[in-house]
């Protein structure tokens, strides 16, 4: 699990308490490099700037319903760009309807977490997401990295 400590994470959610909850849960998993965004525009801006700085995020948590641009739109925006193929985009949302989950998966979501989520379940998802990252980077390491 120590590998988790090197992950760079962005939490995009318009609710301060959700951002704090996810950040605290990540810290318990030894992930210290966490930034937050309060809306979709800010998320897009931070994700692009981090890549330009040569320090791209590994995981981006996206709330579905945010002001300006929805999490689904942010997801679609980055999935259309091949250089973000090995970034994990995780929907973290109260949208629990099957059709919305399918819409997000089709749009390229790495994982889908329904709020409210317990720290234990978030930790479990984190492990799965990290496994996805490892597989992606073994496959695409030569192409994008």
CATH number (domain holding residue 109) = 3.40.50.2300
Distance of alpha carbon 122 from alpha carbon 120, whole angstroms: 5
Confirm whether 87 is domain-assigned: yes
Confirm whether 112 is domain-assigned: yes
Q: For tokens 């990290």, name the residue.
A: 130
Percent of the chain with pLDDT over 70: 94
Given a cut of 60, is residue 1 above it in pLDDT?
no
Confirm whether 145 is domain-assigned: no
Confirm whether 19 is domain-assigned: yes
Cite the beta strand spans of 13-69 per DSSP E: 33-37, 59-62
pLDDT digits (tens, 9 = 90+) for 29-68: 899 999 999 999 999 999 999 999 999 999 999 999 998 8
Domain with 60 in it: 2-140
Confirm whether 12 is domain-assigned: yes
Residue 77 phi, psi dihedral angles, 5° rounding: -60, -50
Domains in the chain: how many in total? 1
Please state the rounded mean pLDDT for residues 2-28.
Answer: 92
- CA–chain centroid gap for 62, Å, is 6
Confirm whether 78 is domain-assigned: yes
């Amino acid at each position: 699990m120590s590998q988790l400590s090197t992950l760079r994470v962005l939490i995009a959610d318009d609710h301060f308490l959700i951002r704090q909850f996810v950040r605290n849960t990540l810290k318990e998993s030894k992930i210290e490099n966490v930034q937050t965004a309060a809306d979709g525009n800010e998320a897009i801006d931070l994700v692009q700037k981090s890549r330009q700085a040569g320090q791209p995020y590994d995981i981006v948590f996206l709330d579905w319903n945010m002001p300006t641009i929805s999490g689904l739109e942010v997801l679609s925006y980055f999935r259309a760009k091949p250089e973000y193929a090995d970034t994990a985009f995780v929907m973290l949302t109260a949208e629990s309807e099957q059709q919305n989950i399918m819409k997000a998966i089709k749009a390229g979501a790495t994982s889908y977490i329904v709020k409210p989520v317990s720290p234990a379940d978030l930790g479990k998802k984190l492990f799965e997401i990290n496994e996805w990252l490892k597989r992606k980077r073994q496959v695409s390491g030569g192409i994008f990295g």
